[in-house]
């Protein structure tokens, strides 16, 4: 059989590859491929490339475009993509202002802001803890001395009364089973109070520890993310540089055109 | 009963906007896929897709049916892609811009495909995309239109405004370069004759 196909003419090969030959031409190509190993190998390798190409899928994008004419059907229309949460239409200014006021009010409410104006002047406090005692305005030295002396006299009188009372015999039994039982109950109460206090302290400490641990965990995660981002950026730049270098080497190492 | 493209076009021109939305629904995915494969960027491909339909709608009264509606849409898309590439003034690099997200992979894992298989498939896809992006634009477009949209040589020639033989040459040269690149990555077997020599 006489082979009529020039092997360096690739039009027929491409047409055969994509099945765009009529029956007669296809049979002729098939006959040629049976006797020409090089062409058969080339067809086979290009089929392999096509198989690889079939694995290149485009991403599964959420499209859902829609035409919204601005009038009845006319050329004035817009094709809109489905809205996303970060690309909602902008809010009007009044709505933004109202939202800002609401947020500020909520923030102030949470902070328990209190503003008072009185004898002690303007006092602004925040938070739910009791407000710090206001330092009163200074009084005159003479008045201070008088106040101090009267307080001292009251304290002296109080101490004297207590000492006198201690000298009097008490009605409370100091010996015997009744006194022991009373002491025992008191001791038990003290121990129970102490245990409850310790439990409360332990619970508070544990909660604080958990909070600190969570804060530390979040901080570490942010740091790791930042580190990974920097690393990815550096790796991407390095890959790009390597690729450019390979391209350059391939270009300079290619044989010069004849 | 489903309307043909041409019937929907006629109904749109007559004032039925819903008919155009049916055309959009029918063609948005192929148009997006074409734009994505040519320019290699997800968000930009969405923009091109959106702009394609807007331009098509505006120009619809001038569409006389001398070509298929799909070919006409493809032409608009290719022009927009060409504009985009000119604006970029450099060959876009697709190279898996989103990278491999293991969570996403796990989420899309099918019942029969393991994570390893999925990663291998994704890497192969990236290798192909990368090799495609290195091709000259005309060869890349010809291959995309042929491989992924099933256009005939003649339709591609019409879209690229070149002779039929040029389309075949572009396809052959493009496939040959891809073969070389993929062989270098060990993705496709060498021809038997080459291996024997």
Q: Does residue B121 form part of some domain?
A: no
Nearest to A75 by CA among B60, B64, B48, B21: B60
Residues of A in contact with B176 (CB under 8 A): 46
Residue pair B49/B35 in contact (Cβ under 8 Å)? The answer is yes
Q: Please tell me the predicted confidence (pLDDT) of residue A238.
A: 85
Query: In a 10 Å sphere around its CB, with 0-12 CB exposed, 13-18 middle and 19+ buried, how is residue B81 labelled?
Result: buried
Residues 86-125 of B with CB under 8 A from A: 93, 95, 98-99, 121, 124-125
Q: Do B63 and B6 share a domain, yes or no?
A: yes
Final residue of a domain: which of B91, B115, B148? B91
Whether B33 and A58 lie within 8 Å, measured CB to CB? yes
Which sign, positive or negative, has the C-alpha torsion B132, B136, B141, B142? negative
Band of residue A52 on the pLDDT scale cut at 50, 70, 90: confident
- Across the interface, which of B21, B45, B93 has its CB nearest the CB of A67? B21
Query: φ, ψ for residue A124 (rounded to 5)?
Result: -115, 125
- CATH number assigned to the domain comprising residue B70: 1.10.1740.10
Q: Which residue has the higher pLDDT, A150 or A127?
A: A150
Q: Please tell me the predicted confidence (pLDDT) of residue B81.
A: 92
- CATH number assigned to the domain comprising residue B175: 1.10.10.10
Optimal mutation site among A10, A21, A34, A49, interface B, most CBs of chain B within 10 A: A49
Q: Do B138 and B54 share a domain, yes or no?
A: no
Nearest to B143 by CA among A22, A38, A17: A17
Low-confidence stretches of chain B (pLDDT < 50) are 92-112, 189, 192-197
* Torsion, CA B38, CA B41, CA B44, CA B45, rounded to 10: 50
**SS3 assignment for chain B:** CCCCHHHHHHHHHCCCHHHHHHHHHHHHHHHHHHHHHHHCCHHHHHHHHHHHHHHHHHHHHHCCCCCCHHHHHHHHHHHHHHHHHHHHCCCCCCCCCCCCCHHHHHHCCCCCCCHHHHHHHHHHHHHHHHHHHCCCHHHHHHHHHHHCCCCCHHHHHHHHCCCHHHHHHHHHHHHHHHHHHHHHCCCCCCCHHHHHC
Q: Please tell me the predicted confidence (pLDDT) of residue B139.
A: 94
Q: Do B65 and B138 share a domain, yes or no?
A: no
Q: Do B138 and B83 share a domain, yes or no?
A: no
Whether A63 and B20 lie within 8 Å, measured CB to CB? no
Is pLDDT of A213 > 60? yes
Q: Which residue has the higher pLDDT, A219 or A83?
A: A219
Is pLDDT of A102 > 80? no
| Averaged pLDDT, A158-165 | 77
Optimal mutation site among B27, B28, B110, interface A, most CBs of chain A within 10 A: B28
Whether A58 and B15 lie within 8 Å, measured CB to CB? no
Interchain contact B12–A (C-beta under 8 A): yes
Q: Does residue B115 form part of some domain?
A: no
- 3-state secondary structure (DSSP) of residue A19: coil
Q: Please tell me the predicted confidence (pLDDT) of residue A104.
A: 66
- Across the interface, which of A45, A50, A59 has its CB nearest the CB of B147? A50
Q: Please tell me the predicted confidence (pLDDT) of residue A132.
A: 44
**Strand A66-69 versus strand A121-125 pairing type:** unpaired
Final residue of a domain: which of B91, B120, B147? B91
Q: Round to the nearest angstrom and report the end-to-end CA distance of chain A.
A: 36
Measured distance CA(A222)–CA(A77) in Å, rounded: 45
Is pLDDT of A252 > 90? no
Q: Please tell me the predicted confidence (pLDDT) of residue A91.
A: 57
Q: Please tell me the predicted confidence (pLDDT) of residue B24.
A: 92
- Of all residues in chain A, the percent with pLDDT exceeding 70 is 64
Helical packing angle, B137-147 and B17-39, nearest 10°? 130
Q: Please tell me the predicted confidence (pLDDT) of residue B176.
A: 93
Q: Which structural domain range is residue B193 located in? A: 134-197
Long-range contacts of B59-64 (CB under 8 A, 24+ apart): B60/B9, B60/B12, B60/B13, B60/B20, B61/A75, B61/B13, B63/B9
Number of domains in chain B: 2
Q: Please tell me the predicted confidence (pLDDT) of residue B178.
A: 92
Could you state, in order of their start, the residue ranges of all structural domains in chain A? 1-50, 193-258
Measured distance CA(A24)–CA(A16) in Å, rounded: 12
Q: Please tell me the predicted confidence (pLDDT) of residue A177.
A: 67
Q: Which residue has the higher pLDDT, A89 or B166?
A: B166
Q: Which residue has the higher pLDDT, A64 or A224?
A: A224
**Could you give the ipTM of this predicted complex?**
0.73
Contacts of A136 (CB under 8 A, 6+ apart): A120
Question: Which residues, in sequence order, are bridge partners of residue A115?
Answer: A124
Q: Identify the weakest region by mean pLDDT among A25-29, A56-60, A82-86, B76-80.
A: A82-86
Q: Please tell me the predicted confidence (pLDDT) of residue B194.
A: 46
Q: Please tell me the predicted confidence (pLDDT) of residue A232.
A: 78
Residue pair B56/B40 in contact (Cβ under 8 Å)? The answer is no
Q: Do B69 and B141 share a domain, yes or no?
A: no
Final residue of a domain: which of B61, B91, B121? B91
Band of residue A192 on the pLDDT scale cut at 50, 70, 90: confident
Q: Please tell me the predicted confidence (pLDDT) of residue A220.
A: 85
| Averaged pLDDT, A225-234 | 79
Cα–chain center distance at A211: 16
CA B189 vs CA A242, B132, B135: distances in Å: 25, 18, 21
Nearest to B167 by CA among B150, B152, B149: B152
Band of residue A69 on the pLDDT scale cut at 50, 70, 90: low
Q: Please tell me the predicted confidence (pLDDT) of residue B119.
A: 67
Q: Does residue B101 form part of some domain?
A: no
Highest mean pLDDT among A70-74, A147-151, A235-239: A235-239
Query: φ, ψ for residue B148 (rounded to 5)?
Result: -105, -15
Q: Identify the weakest region by mean pLDDT among A10-19, A90-99, A112-121, B27-36.
A: A112-121
Q: What is the mean pLDDT of chain B?
A: 80
């Amino acid at each position: 059989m006489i082979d009529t196909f020039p092997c360096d003419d690739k039009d027929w090969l491409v047409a055969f590859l994509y099945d765009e030959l009529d029956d007669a031409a296809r049979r002729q190509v098939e006959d040629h491929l049976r006797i020409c190993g090089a062409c058969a190998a080339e067809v086979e390798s290009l089929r392999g490339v096509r198989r690889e190409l079939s694995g290149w899928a485009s991403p599964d994008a959420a499209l859902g475009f829609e035409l919204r004419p601005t009038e009845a059907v006319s050329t004035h229309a817009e094709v809109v993509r489905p809205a996303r949460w970060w690309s909602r239409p902008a809010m009007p200014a009044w709505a933004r202002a109202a939202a800002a006021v609401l947020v500020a009010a909520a923030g102030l409410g949470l902070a328990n802001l209190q503003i008072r104006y009185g004898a002690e002047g303007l006092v602004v406090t925040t938070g739910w803890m009791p407000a710090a005692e206001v330092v009163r305005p200074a009084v005159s030295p003479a008045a201070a001395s008088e106040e101090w002396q009267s307080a001292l006299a009251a304290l002296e009188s109080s101490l004297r009364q207590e000492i006198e009372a201690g000298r009097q015999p008490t009605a409370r039994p100091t010996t015997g089973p009744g006194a022991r039982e009373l002491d025992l109950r008191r001791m038990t109460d003290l121990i129970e109070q102490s245990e409850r206090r310790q439990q409360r302290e332990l619970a508070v400490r544990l909660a604080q520890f958990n909070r600190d641990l969570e804060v530390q965990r979040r901080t570490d995660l942010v740091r790791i993310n930042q580190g990974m981002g920097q690393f990815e950026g550096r790796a991407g730049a390095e890959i790009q540089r390597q690729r450019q270098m390979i391209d350059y080497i391939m270009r300079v190492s290619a044989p010069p055109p004849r | 009963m489903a309307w043909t493209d041409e019937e929907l076009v006629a109904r749109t021109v007559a004032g039925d906007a819903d008919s155009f939305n049916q055309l959009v629904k029918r063609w948005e995915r192929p148009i997006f896929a074409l734009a994505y494969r040519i320019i290699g960027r997800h968000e930009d491909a969405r923009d091109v897709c959106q702009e394609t339909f807007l331009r098509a709608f505006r120009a619809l009264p001038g569409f006389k049916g001398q070509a298929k509606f799909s070919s006409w849409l493809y032409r608009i898309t290719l022009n927009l892609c060409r504009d985009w590439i000119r604006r970029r003034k450099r060959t876009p690099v697709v190279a898996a811009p989103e990278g491999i997200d293991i969570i996403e992979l796990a989420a899309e894992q099918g019942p029969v495909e393991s994570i390893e298989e999925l990663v291998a498939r994704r890497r192969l896809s990236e290798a192909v995309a990368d090799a495609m992006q290195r091709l000259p634009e005309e060869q890349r477009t010809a291959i995309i239109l042929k491989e992924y949209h099933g256009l005939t040589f003649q339709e591609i020639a019409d879209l690229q405004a070149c002779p039929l033989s040029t389309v075949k040459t572009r396809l052959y040269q493009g496939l040959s370069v891809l073969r070389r690149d993929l062989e270098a990555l060990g993705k496709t077997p060498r021809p038997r004759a080459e291996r024997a020599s």
